């Protein structure tokens, strides 16, 4: 198991634009022993952000985004992928940070046991691959990152998950740029990543599609 300090609830209460770069180099840990260091994230700011799932208000789908902070907002996209987001800000304020890419640090064999990508380095490169590698899915909607417990009544099977500070500081000057795959709010440089890291995902502008959403 990865050693380090679990992040307290108060850590998550900041604005998404502050929490997002601070998440870089934190470690996502599962009860089953898988772990990955976060190297790329995207901030989403609810009613102030046309790229956010919560831009038009609260729905059953996005309710977890409204808090309390320190939980996961997990959603299904493109009819095939799960994406995970760290809920932040004060309760009632719909802000979250998408976990876009990470680098494996423990449990790589378990990550590869699913549907491996073409290269091992791509295990957690991109939000869908990251969730698949860590076993994050519908059971983790509302999961508590402070206690490591799943939300009561969560459907499906899943392991607890939490975030750890193992002493590796965020980069002093994180790179930033536009979020991937968005049309609404595409001009906002709210994606942050560890400069030069090979596991950062490839930037792609929005593609025309009939359904689904890449935003949070």
* Residue at 12 is within a domain: yes
Which residue pairs, CB below 8 angstroms and at least 24 apart, start in 155-161?
Answer: 159/30, 159/31, 159/32, 159/135, 160/30, 160/31, 161/28, 161/29, 161/30, 161/31, 161/72, 161/134, 161/136
Of the ranges 34-43, 50-59, 77-86, 117-126, which one carries the lowest mean pLDDT score? 117-126
CB 62 within 8 A of CB 94: yes
Instruction: Provide the residue range defining the domain that includes 175.
Output: 5-193
Residue 11 backbone dihedrals phi, psi, to 5 degrees: -60, -30
* Residue at 107 is within a domain: yes
How many domains is the chain built from?
Answer: 1
Whether the pLDDT of residue 213 is over 80: the answer is no
* Residue at 198 is within a domain: no
* Residue at 203 is within a domain: no
* Residue at 9 is within a domain: yes
* Residue at 81 is within a domain: yes
Copy the structure tokens of residue 74.
């997990």
Per-residue pLDDT of 163-184, as tens digits, reads: 999 999 999 999 999 999 888 8
CATH assignment at residue 174: 3.10.300.10
* Residue at 204 is within a domain: no
Identify the pLDDT of residue 155: 62
Residue 71 backbone dihedrals phi, psi, to 5 degrees: -120, 175
* Average pLDDT rounded to a whole number, residues 185-192: 92
Whether the pLDDT of residue 94 is over 50: the answer is yes
Query: What count of residues does the chain have?
Result: 216
Per-residue pLDDT of 51-81, as tens digits, reads: 898 888 889 889 999 989 999 999 998 667 8
For residue 91, the Cα-to-chain-centroid distance in whole angstroms is 19
CB 129 within 8 A of CB 84: no
């Amino acid at each position: 198991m990865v050693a380090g300090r679990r992040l307290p609830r108060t850590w998550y209460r900041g604005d998404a634009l502050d929490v997002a770069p601070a998440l870089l180099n934190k470690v996502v840990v599962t009860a089953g022993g898988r772990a990955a260091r976060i190297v790329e994230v995207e901030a989403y700011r609810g009613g102030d952000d046309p790229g956010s799932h919560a831009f038009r208000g609260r729905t059953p789908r996005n309710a977890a985004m409204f808090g309390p902070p320190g939980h996961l907002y997990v959603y299904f996209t493109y009819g095939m992928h799960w994406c995970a987001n760290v809920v932040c800000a004060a309760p009632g304020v719909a802000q979250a940070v998408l976990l876009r890419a990470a680098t494996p640090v423990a449990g790589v064999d378990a990550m590869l046991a699913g549907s491996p990508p073409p290269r091992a380095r791509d295990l957690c490169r991109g939000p869908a691959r990251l969730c698949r590698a860590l076993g994050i899915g519908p059971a983790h909607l509302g999961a508590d990152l402070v206690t490591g417990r799943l939300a009561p009544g969560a459907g499906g099977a899943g392991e607890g998950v939490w975030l750890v500070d193992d002493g590796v500081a965020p980069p002093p000057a994180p790179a930033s740029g536009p979020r991937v795959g968005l049309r609404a709010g595409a001009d906002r440089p709210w994606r942050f990543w560890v400069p030069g890291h090979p596991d950062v995902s490839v930037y792609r502008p929005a593609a025309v599609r009939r359904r689904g959403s890449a935003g949070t």
